[in-house]
Structure 1
Amino acid sequence: MSERRTDRLFLRRWRESDFGPWAAMNADPEVRKYLGDLLTREQSDSVVSQFQSEFDQRGYGWWAVELLATGEFIGFAGLDQVDDGMPFTGVEIGWRLARSAWGHGYATEAALASLTFGFETLELPEILAVTTATNLRSQAVMRRIGMTWDPGDDFDDPTVPEGPLRRNVLYRIARDART
């Protein structure tokens, strides 16, 4: 089983005890600000089931993230295949944390561990990151982990209705950029 530990975090497979805090995150308007509608408990549970299934199939995916010091679940991070229908293909990195975990550097720490896994274990040549054009906090994490942005790669997400969440930015990092 692939798990990752950092100085402060444990990136691991999901547990039943994560479902409640995960549902609370998905019911928080601030956490969902750049993601769309709030999710019900049933929808949140279904998302985790999908995460688990994809991880089982591929051997990687979205890890649950917990604080090593307390064992508290604080969100997720990891790697996933780019969704079909996007104007690009590959593997993307992502993260989502509970509001109480914001501003502590946890997203950067989890993202760096995910990049290392992607490049060293999966031997990916490149990893992508996508977020809405207005999500400046996630874009700052992307820059901190060494990713670069080309405005020519910006796109309208075909799965999102017209509105402020439709315009997206694409960041990239190549394996050889980290050596």
Structure 2
Amino acid sequence: MPDTTARLLYRRPQQADLPSVFSIFGDPQTNLFNPAGPMTDIAQAEALLDRWLQHWETHGYGWWALSSAQAPEQILGFAGIAAHDYLGKQVINLGYRFAVQAWGHGYATEAAQAALTHAFDHLELPEVFGLVRPDHVASIRVLEKIGMRRIDELDDVPGKAPSLIFRIQRDAR
């Protein structure tokens, strides 16, 4: 797992991150494209954080807590790779969510690229997927910038347009 990139510090999440998880995942603006909407109580954030920590215990990798080198105590967001079930199988899915004040600085692209580097160069995973809502233009742009290509759709939200599935393979980098 990388400790830093040019501007970001990465670390495994901890229980002390619970307020940041709730703040970021409970913010309506960070959930504009999330069909489930923002978290409404701290118990939901606790359940998510527990899933992340369990994923780390089981797989040895997962989502990171991210901060800037200038303010390491302030969480900007969370990003990483994790096992996720879709396409009828378990895949490695790239994900990220940043606080609104961190938007527009290229952090999502930087974190996503670090996650791919970790997946391919350190974990030697064969491929990584990304699942994105079709109207989330900024996130689609991030996936395309890091070399992911749209391969399919997933009808995962009843009554809404299907999500877009992106993929990148290790040997295609």
Return the TM-score normalized by structure 1.
0.88
**Is residue 65–residue 79 contact of structure 2 (8 Å, CA) maintained in 1?**
yes
Q: What corresponds to 1:163 in structure 2?
A: 159
Residue 88 of structure 1 deviates from its aligned partner by 4.9
Q: What value does the CA root-mean-square deviation take over the aligned residues? A: 1.5
Q: Secondary structure at the match of 1:90?
A: strand
Q: Which moved more, 1:74-83 or 1:11-20?
A: 11-20
Q: What corresponds to 1:18 in structure 2?
A: 17
Partners of 2:3 and 2:129 in 1: how far apart?
Answer: 20
**Is residue 32–residue 38 contact of structure 1 (8 Å, CA) maintained in 2?**
yes
Partners of 1:88 and 1:154 in 2: how far apart?
Answer: 15
Residue 3 of structure 1 deviates from its aligned partner by 4.4
Residues 1:128 and 2:129 are matched in the alignment: yes
Q: What corresponds to 1:137 in structure 2?
A: 138
**Is residue 11–residue 77 contact of structure 1 (8 Å, CA) maintained in 2?**
no
1:172 corresponds, among 145, 159, 167, to: 167
Q: What corresponds to 1:75 in structure 2?
A: 77
Residues 1:37 and 2:32 are matched in the alignment: no
Partners of 1:27 and 1:6 in 2: how far apart?
Answer: 27
Residue 14 of structure 1 deviates from its aligned partner by 1.2
1:75-95 Cα distance to aligned partner (Å, 9 max, x none): 111111122x54454211111
Q: Which moved more, 1:19-28 or 1:99-108?
A: 19-28
Alignment of 1:53-68 (within 5 A): 53-68=54-69
Q: Which runs of 5+ in 1 are unaligned?
A: none
Q: Which runs of 5+ in 2 are unaligned?
A: none
Return the TM-score normalized by structure 2.
0.91
What percentage of residue pairs aligned between the two structures are identical?
A: 35
Q: Secondary structure at the match of 2:28?
A: coil
